[in-house]
Amino acid sequence: MAKEQKMEKIKKVKMPIVAKQATTNMNRTKRMKEKKKAAQGGCRKKSGPHLPSSFLKELGFQKHPPNTSEQEEGEEDDDNLYEYEEPLPEEEMKKNRRFDQVENYEYELPKGFEDEDVPSDEGEDVPIDEDEVENDSEKHVRMLQSITGLPAAAFKGMEKRNVALTDVQSDLGGKITVHDLLDPLHGKTGYSMLRKRLNQLEKAPMAVQSPLPKVEREKLERKVTYEQSKKEISKWDPLVKRNREAPSLYFAEDIDLGVSTVGAIAAEHEPRTEFEKKMAALVGNPDIMEAHMKDGGRLLELNKVSVEDVKLRHNRLAKMRNLLFRHEIRAKHIKKIKSKTYHRILKKERQKTASSEMNMNPEAAKEAAIRQEFKRAERGLKAQDEGTRAAIAEQLHQHALLKRKMNSINDNSSSDESTDEDSDKLSPGSDGEGVARLLNKAKEKTMKLMEEEEEMPKSGVFALPFMHRGLKKQREEAYEEAHRALEEYECSLKSLDGEEAECQSSPDKNKGRRIFTGPKSQLKVPSTKEPNCLSGSDSEGDFEEFREKEEHTSEIRPNFQVQSALLPSDAETGQEKIFKNFDDVVKNPGSKTTYEVAIFASDSWKKMGGENSTANDLKNTAEVHANNVIAKLDSVERADKSDSDSDIEMVDGLLTSEHVPSYKLPSQDVLIHRAFAGDDVEAEFEKDKMDALNEEIPEPEKPVLLPGWGQWTHVQKKKGIPSILLEEHEREKRKREDSLKTRKDANLKHVFISEKVDKKTEKLHAKNLPFPYTSKEVYEHSIRMPIGPDYNPVISIGALNRPAVIKRAGVIIEPIKYEEIDPYGNSEAKKKPTHSSQKPKNTNKAKLAGRKTNNKS
Amino acid sequence: MVVRRLYVGSGRNKTGGEQDAFDELDPKAKKYLRGDAANLGVIRDKKLKGQLLDKEKLYGQTAKAAAKAEKWLMPTEVGYLEAEGLEKTWRFKQETILQEVDIISSRKPFDMILPDLGPYKLEYSLGGRYMLVGGRKGHLALIDVLTMRLIKEFQVRETVRDVVFLHSEQFFAVAQKKYLYIYDRHGTEIHCLKEHGVPLKLQFLDKHFLLASVNKFSQLHYQDVSTGEIVGNYRTGLGRTDVMQMNPYNSVIGLGHSGGKVTMWKPTSSNPLVTMLCHHGPVTCVSFHNSGYLMATAGMDRKIKLWDLRKFEALRTYSCSAQSLDFSQNGLLAMSNGSRINIWRDSVGNHDYERYMAHSMVKGYQVGKVCFRPYEDVLGIGHSMGISSILVPGSGEPNFDTWVANPYETKKQRREKEVHSLLDKLQPETIMLDPLKVGTLMPPTKKDKPNKGDLEAEMEAAIETAKSTVFKKKTKGRNKPSKRARKKEEAVLKTKRPFIEQQAEDRPLKKPKVEEAELPKSLQRFVRKKKTL
């Protein structure tokens, strides 16, 4: 308060100064302003024209503005820089000297000034002023009086005392320093700071250099800020380095998953909408809460429903029920109406509405018409179909059956056995039986068809009399045809019967293919040959069999040996069986039954296929002539030499062979060549290698004479091939040699390594070096270690496969936080970068807890 | 005589000294490093270098951990025969060995005399538990050798040339007289594969699910047994052969031919990968070491040769003949000649094979096939009078990995494994000579390296296009002829630059030629001579 008063005093001191030279008008305005300032007092704010910050800074350095006029000193002392400064009055600016110069700016006390009691001396000095002031004051007092109702003297006295105070102050003489002003503030808060600042201001030199040019200043500023920020940022360096070097970063370290219970979520809920708020008010009603907390008795009390409410509800329900009942009754009534007229009318009405709709909408009409038409057509077709459909289905079925049969006969490339068996069935061995079966089947079919066709369609188009007649005619024709077919079948069956009698005597055993019919016979057959087996010194099974074969043949006839010796070893297996067959037949004619049957079986085939006198001979005569055997062997040989499927032919067509041209011995040269086929393997290999090399790296073509050029005059012949071509050829040749030399097998005489590029393996190679790598070796070494769990101990699998950033979905990545780390610390320490010390969730928990307690209370 | 640690399938722990554990660790760990680290000094990229260093460190730790685990996971060691004094290991009879071994092992050798149905082939399943026996005259039998129980026996009444197990003992393929058949363990015929022609020899590539066969017309067929698709069908064009063996390391098929050649095949190329002239006579058998780089061949020229498949050079040549060869899991080499069986071993590890064991069958028995049983110290022999098996200490791998093959597999495990192996099935194109090449950079093809003339032509064309570009008309000051000219020049230079740089890169740096001084005569004899066949 004291400070405020002082300020006021200063203003009062100044007031007359201004008043002295100013015109009355101006003076008034100024005074008003001064008063306002005074009213603001100590809580004067830094307000004023907005200045650029740089300018303000400049001002900060200067203690005094370069304004030497004494009259403003008082204000300067205040050190209120931001105060709005009134521009100099125009008379002071001495513009054109329009105003009279006033010499004395100093405030001089009037001579007659003696006591403060003197009511007003001002009037003496400035009479013009006084009047006005007087007037003003009087007016003011009057106004105050009217408002407050106090005597005017009370207000007047106050004013006077003020004036007196100022006068006392000014009476002390000399200048008032800032220190004087500050003294009473001693001991207040902020005093020391104020004083310090004042001291600084005093010490600072008065002279102020002119500010640097803007560019320079900005440059300096930038430099400073750069250095500052560099220092600031460089402290992060080790942190960033650590994070960069870390093999993987972790971002999900402390996640508290405990929050997401239903209760927790519900606890966090805050009512927002009107409804929610209402609900919350109800639920959170302390009465109810209390009731819940205590016991059910209070709850029951709260649960009471008023009688009115119940009544209302009851009424409402009754009304609804009544309405429903009425509706039901009405529906029943309408349904019960039997009157046709009523229904007709109803229907008509409906149609009317529909037709009106159609009229309105031509598309709907069209659609309806189409629907109608479709329905009609469908009805017609249904009636027609009944008869034909069955016939077509039957035909299709027949077709499918026949097709399957055909396929089963033709097919022999599929991998399942069943087809083979099928083909076996149809093979000549079992032919008679098969034919009979087929015939029987056909007969049955026709009978069935005939029976089926008795039925006549009784409705539809076919029911018409003329159609009926036509159908009957057709049917009769078909019937006749079927009869004819049946007769044919019967005929053929009868003819077959004779053969079948034979065949049926051994229906099971007529598969000629297998020789090892059972384990018994199997064991028996080789056991007889055991010594032979053992005597075979060579481990090759082929050879052994070969030997075995040979021996048997030799038993029969010695001159046969030549031919069997010349048999190619390829076909040994097929032959072997046959040999065995014959061997047994030859050796023990007593036990030949099975084989005889096998031969019998081929009888039917003979009938179909062609003639074979030798086979007949064999069948009829028990003894076997060596000649025969030879003939057969010849045939076998021929069969072997033919394709791979000759085996089949040979096995079940044992007796097929007609006369075959006998084997011709190759010439001596050929034989010798064959015998020494693998003599000079090395040279052969060399040749092969050269061929392969030529294939991989083709030899350049030799230059030839250019056609057409100087041919008539034989210029080319004389000059020879142009040197360019020759040179090129030479170059190509050299290139080829170079590439031959760089091959892996260049120095290996006995090895040829193919260097053909396999296109299929291209996808297994990397096309280019992956990004950070620059050398192939480094890349290939870096992928040498498998990283899967099958090849590494458990402890290192995680480390080997850890991703660069480990983060769970939804985790918020906090910005990096500063922390002190040793920049030269070893790499072990930097394993776990605390890049993100996630916000602990404890606060949340505390909050929840708090809430809970609140609820409880 | 001493039979050292003959672990025949029975897991017996070795409680070794702990103090030498760390000494052994390093060489073992090296194995798990799978080669050396790349030279990181070459890399300029700091980040990459850091990453690779980190990775290498991890690899080191991994290898160490693996080596440590090996100590506990692979406790049993390989057994062997040890001679005392003047004894020779190849003089030991089976009877004497039998007296030394434990009871379980002593039950393993047997002789089965089956005189009727011809020379027998045999084949063990991957786990070594099941044996498939195929008699020449159609006798097929599936035997559980662990319990010596006959699972199925039947006769196909046809010539049987070869038998082979498919991925499990559930199915096996049989090369019969005309076709190739697949049966299941109950003897039911599942498939008849007619496309293979008349197969002579079969092999199953278990990682690729491919059934390979070579037929009478010397055609090589590959059929995927999981999809049924014929993957490859190639004519070898080198004559009929029934010598075929798969290299277990890279699944390349080796074929031996009558011209003394051995060819190696993969399913995706119609030409052999490698053709080697191994013998002067027909090749009788081929066998591959488990490591993949060692091949043994035997020929009619009474030679047995060991080949290094990295250099394609003969390491050793022994003069004796063999009808069949087989490498065991631990690298023992069994060979049969007539009724005699020899087993060789390189005791030092430098592929200098020497006699280790010998066994002779009854005189007159012709041994057709020898086959080591996996994970057991047993050699199976198929001969003309049946099958037998003998003990060969140190032949099988003593520790089995149940993820690879499990001799004691249960039904559930087998099913699980079947699914897994199908999921892990490798595609046929992954078969190559060096399977480590998968994933590496594509080998440069000839087209990738354009020659100088092409490059020049390309440059010319580029320059032409640069010259002929029309510049936009710019505003007044910038449209001066001088400026336009300069702009054009710049464009041309810009297009030229990459070509010139490339040429500079291609041009080898001129190095002062180091003259190869002739060695003084006294030292010349130490110069390595080029090996000849």
Q: What pLDDT digit, counting tens, does each position of B163-198 carry?
A: 999 999 999 999 999 999 999 999 999 999 999 999
Q: Which residue in the set A527, A684, A792 is minimally distant from B62, CB to CB?
A: A792
Q: What is the largest CA-CA distance in chain A?
A: 187
| Token code pair at residue A845 | 């928990």
- Fold classification of B94-419 is Methylamine Dehydrogenase; Chain H (2.130.10)
Q: Is A515 on the interface with B (CB under 8 A)?
A: yes
Which sign, positive or negative, has the C-alpha torsion A436, A442, A448, A454?
A: negative
pLDDT at A454 over 50: yes
Q: Which residue in the set A523, A534, A764 is minimally distant from B430, CB to CB?
A: A764
CA distance B200 to chain A (A): 11
CA distance A385 to chain B (A): 47
| Token code pair at residue A277 | 């708020």
Question: Among all chains, which residue has been given the structure tokens 């074969």?
Answer: A549
Q: Which residue in the set B177, B323, B441 is minimally distant from A780, CB to CB?
A: B441
Cβ separation of B118 and A515 shorter than 8 Å?
no
Phi, psi of A284 (to 5 degrees): -85, 10
Confidence of residue A441 (pLDDT cuts 50, 70, 90): confident
Q: Which A residues 662-701 touch B at CB under 8 Å? A: 678, 681-682, 684-685, 688-689, 692
Cβ separation of B442 and A515 shorter than 8 Å?
no
Task: Tell me what the mean pLDDT of segment B191-218 comes to.
Answer: 95
Task: Tell me what the mean pLDDT of segment B269-289 comes to.
Answer: 94
Q: Report chain B residues whose CB lies below 8 A from the CB of A527.
A: 115-116
Cβ separation of A782 and B55 shorter than 8 Å?
yes
CA distance B33 to chain A (A): 7
CA distance A769 to chain B (A): 7
Domain boundaries, chain B: 94-419
For residue B182, is it left (φ>0), alpha (ψ between -120 and 50) or beta? beta
CA distance A695 to chain B (A): 11
How far apart are the C-alpha atoms of B127 and A230, rounded to whole Å?
69
Q: Report chain B residues whose CB lies below 8 A from the CB of A535.
A: 364
The ipTM value here is 0.80
| Token code pair at residue A263 | 């209760």
Task: Tell me what the mean pLDDT of segment B413-437 comes to.
Answer: 93
Which distant-in-sequence residues (6+ apart) come within 8 Å of A625 by Cβ? Answer: A617
Q: Which A residues 95-124 touch B at CB under 8 Å? A: none
Cβ separation of B157 and A793 shorter than 8 Å?
no
Q: What is the pLDDT of residue A384?
A: 61
Instruction: Name the range with the highest mean pLDDT among A201-205, A577-581, B116-120.
Output: B116-120
How far apart are the C-alpha atoms of B427 and A53, rounded to whole Å?
77
Q: Which A residues 631-650 touch B at CB under 8 Å? A: 644, 647
Q: Which residues of B439-466 are buried (b: 16+ CB within 10 A; e: fewer)?
A: ebbbeeeeeeeeeeeeeeeebeebbeeb
Cβ separation of B533 and A761 shorter than 8 Å?
no
Q: Which residue in the set B198, B259, B364 is minimally distant from A681, CB to CB?
A: B259
Q: Is A765 on the interface with B (CB under 8 A)?
A: yes
**Percent of chain B's residues with pLDDT above 70:** 91
Q: What is the pLDDT of residue B369?
A: 94
| A790-to-A783, A797, B30, B66, B136 alpha-carbon distances in Å | 16, 9, 18, 11, 41
Q: What is the largest CA-CA distance in chain B?
A: 111
Contact A418, B192 (CB under 8 A): no
Q: For residues A837 and A328, which has the higher predicted lDDT (pLDDT)?
A: A328
Task: Tell me what the mean pLDDT of segment B432-440 comes to.
Answer: 91
Q: Report chain A residues whose CB lies below 8 A from the CB of B385.
A: 534
Q: What is the pLDDT of residue B40?
A: 84
Confidence of residue A667 (pLDDT cuts 50, 70, 90): confident
Q: What is the mean pLDDT of chain B?
A: 88
User: Could you report how far apart the first and last alpha carbons of chain A are, in Å?
Assistant: 49
Q: For residues B511 and B396, which has the higher predicted lDDT (pLDDT)?
A: B396
Question: Among all chains, which residue has been given the structure tokens 């249904």?
Answer: A382
CA distance B468 to chain A (A): 33
Q: Report chain A residues whose CB lies below 8 A from the CB of B281.
A: 678, 681
pLDDT in tens, A350-381: 888 888 877 777 787 788 788 878 887 887 66
Cβ separation of A764 and B364 shorter than 8 Å?
no
Judged by DSSP in three states, B323 sits in coil
Which distant-in-sequence residues (6+ apart) come within 8 Å of B230 by Cβ? Answer: B195, B221, B222, B223, B224
Confidence of residue B454 (pLDDT cuts 50, 70, 90): confident
Cβ separation of A539 and B282 shorter than 8 Å?
no
Q: Report chain B residues whose CB lies below 8 A from the CB of A539.
A: 119, 323, 338, 366-368, 384
Q: How many residues does chain A have?
A: 857
Chains A & B: contacts with CB separation below 8 Å: 216
Q: Report chain A residues whose CB lies below 8 A from the CB of B429.
A: 758, 760-761, 763-764
Q: Is A749 on the interface with B (CB under 8 A)?
A: yes
pLDDT in tens, A404-436: 888 876 654 444 444 444 444 444 444 556 666
pLDDT at A176 over 60: yes
Q: Is A543 on the interface with B (CB under 8 A)?
A: no
pLDDT in tens, A579-627: 444 444 444 444 333 333 333 444 444 444 344 444 444 444 434 444 4
Give the Cβ contact number of residue A504 at 10 Å: 10
pLDDT in tens, A685-702: 999 999 999 988 888 888
Cβ separation of A516 and B138 shorter than 8 Å?
yes
Q: Is A514 on the interface with B (CB under 8 A)?
A: yes
Q: Is A727 on the interface with B (CB under 8 A)?
A: no
Q: Is A417 on the interface with B (CB under 8 A)?
A: yes
Q: Report chain A residues whose CB lies below 8 A from the CB of B51.
A: 247, 772
Confidence of residue A98 (pLDDT cuts 50, 70, 90): low
Domain boundaries, chain A: 2-203, 219-254+760-857, 262-299, 418-504, 519-665, 681-756
Cβ separation of A688 and B275 shorter than 8 Å?
yes
Q: Which residue in the set B38, B177, B272 is minimally distant from A777, CB to CB?
A: B38
Cβ separation of A782 and B38 shorter than 8 Å?
yes
Judged by DSSP in three states, B190 sits in strand
CA distance A526 to chain B (A): 6
User: Could you report how far apart the first and last alpha carbons of chain B are, in Å?
Assistant: 40
CA distance A692 to chain B (A): 10
CA distance B284 to chain A (A): 11
Question: Among all chains, which residue has been given the structure tokens 């006029």?
Answer: A69
Q: Which A residues 259-288 touch B at CB under 8 Å? A: none
Q: Which residues of A79-99 are buried (b: 16+ CB within 10 A; e: fewer)?
A: eeeeeeeeeeeebeeeeeeee
Cβ separation of B33 and A785 shorter than 8 Å?
yes
Q: Report chain B residues whose CB lies below 8 A from the CB of A826.
A: none
CA distance B124 to chain A (A): 21
Q: Which of A756, A763, A764, A795 should one mutate to test binding to chain B, selecting the residue with the greatest count of B CBs within 10 A? A: A764
Helix (H) or strand (E) holding A275: helix A274-283
Instruction: Name the range with the highest mean pLDDT among A802-811, B212-221, B477-486.
Output: B212-221
How far apart are the C-alpha atoms of B263 and A752, rounded to whole Å?
9
Q: What is the pLDDT of residue A517?
A: 40
Q: What is the pLDDT of residue A337?
A: 87
Q: Give the nearest chain B residue to A241 (CA atoms).
A: B47
Task: Tell me what the mean pLDDT of segment B18-40 comes to.
Answer: 70
Q: Which residue in the set A519, A750, A784 is minimally distant from B35, CB to CB?
A: A784
Q: Report chain B residues whose CB lies below 8 A from the CB of A753.
A: 273-274, 312
Q: What is the pLDDT of residue A718?
A: 77
Task: Tell me what the mean pLDDT of segment B389-417 comes to.
Answer: 92
Cβ separation of B260 and A681 shorter than 8 Å?
yes
**What SS3 string covers A321-365?**
HHHHHHHHHHHHHHHHCCCHHHHHHHHHHHHHHHHHHHHHCHHHH
Which distant-in-sequence residues (6+ apart) come within 8 Å of A177 by Cβ? Answer: A77
Q: Give the nearest chain A residue to B282 (CA atoms).
A: A678
Phi, psi of A414 (to 5 degrees): -75, 160
